Amino acid sequence: MKALLSVFRKEGIVELAKTLTKAGIDLVSTGGTLREIASAGIEVAQVSELTGFPELLDGRVKTLHPKVHAGILARRDSPEHMAELAGRAIESIDVIVVNLYPFEDKLQDASATLSDMLENIDIGGPTLLRAAAKNFPSVVVLVDPQDYGWVAEHFVEGTLTQEQRRVLAAKAFQHVALYDTLITNWLSEPVSDDFRNEITFAFRKSSDLRYGENPHQRAALYTSVPFSSGVVGATQLHGKDLSFNNLLDADAAWQAASDFPEETVAVVKHTNTCGIASHPDIAEAYRRAHAGDPTSAYGGIVAFNRPVTAAAAEAMRGVFYEVVIAPDFDEAALLTLQKRRGLRVLKMGSSHQVQGIGQSLRHIRGGVLLQDADHIHEDTSNWSVATLSKPNPTQFDDLVFAWRVAKHIKSNAIVLVKDKALIGMGAGQPNRLISVHLALKAAGDRAQGCVLASDAFFPFADGVELAVNGGVKAVIQPGGSIRDSEVVDTANSAGISMVTTGVRHFLH
Q: How far is CA 314 from CA 264, 299, 340, in A?
A: 17, 17, 12
**Residue 357 CB-density burial (10 A; 0-12 exposed, 13-18 middle, 19+ buried):** middle
CA dihedral 390, 396, 401, 402 (to 10 degrees): -20
Options 2, 18, 238, 270, the catalytic residue: 270
User: What is 317-363 written as a DSSP string?
Assistant: TT--EEEEEES-B-HHHHHHHTT-TT-EEEE--GGGSS---SEEEEE
Q: Is the separation of the CB atoms in 503 and 377 below 8 Å?
A: yes
- Residues whose CB is less than 8 angstroms from the CB of residue 162 and which lie 6 or more positions away in sequence, other chains included: 137
Which residues, other chains included, contact 469 with Cβ-Cβ below 8 Å and sequence gap of 6+?
none
Neighbouring CB atoms inside 10 A of 228's CB total: 12
What residues contact 443, with CB distance under 8 A and at least 6 apart?
Answer: 416, 423, 424, 450, 470
- Told to judge if 270 belongs to the known catalytic residues of this protein, a careful annotator would answer yes
Parallel/antiparallel/unpaired status of strands 235-238 and 344-347: antiparallel
DSSP 477-494: E----TTHHHHHHHHHHH
Spatial contact of 44 and 38, defined as CB atoms under 8 Å apart? yes
Distance, in Å, from the CA atom of 31 to the CA atom of 418, rounded to the nearest integer, reads 68
Contacts with 352 (C-beta within 8 Å, 6 or more apart), sequence order: 229, 230, 233, 234, 327
Q: Can 363 be counted among the known catalytic residues? A: no
**CA-to-CA distance for 229 and 255, rounded, in angstroms?**
11
Please report, as a single letter, which amino acid is at residue 332.
A
Exactly one of 10, 18, 81, 134 is catalytic; name it.
Answer: 134
Please state, in angstroms and rounded to a whole number, the distance separating the CA atoms of residues 435 and 315: 30
Give the type of residue at 159: T
Residues whose CB falls within 8 Å of the CB of residue 434, separated by 6 or more in sequence, listed in order: 412, 426
CA dist 500 and 457 (Å) reads 9
Say if residues 325 and 231 touch (Cβ distance below 8 Å).
yes
Query: Residue 277 contacts by C-beta under 8 Å, 6 or more apart in sequence?
Result: 264, 265, 285, 286, 287, 288, 289, 291, 292, 420, 421, 422
- Of 416, 425, 487, the residue nearest 457 (C-alpha): 487
The residues annotated as belonging to the active site are 134, 270
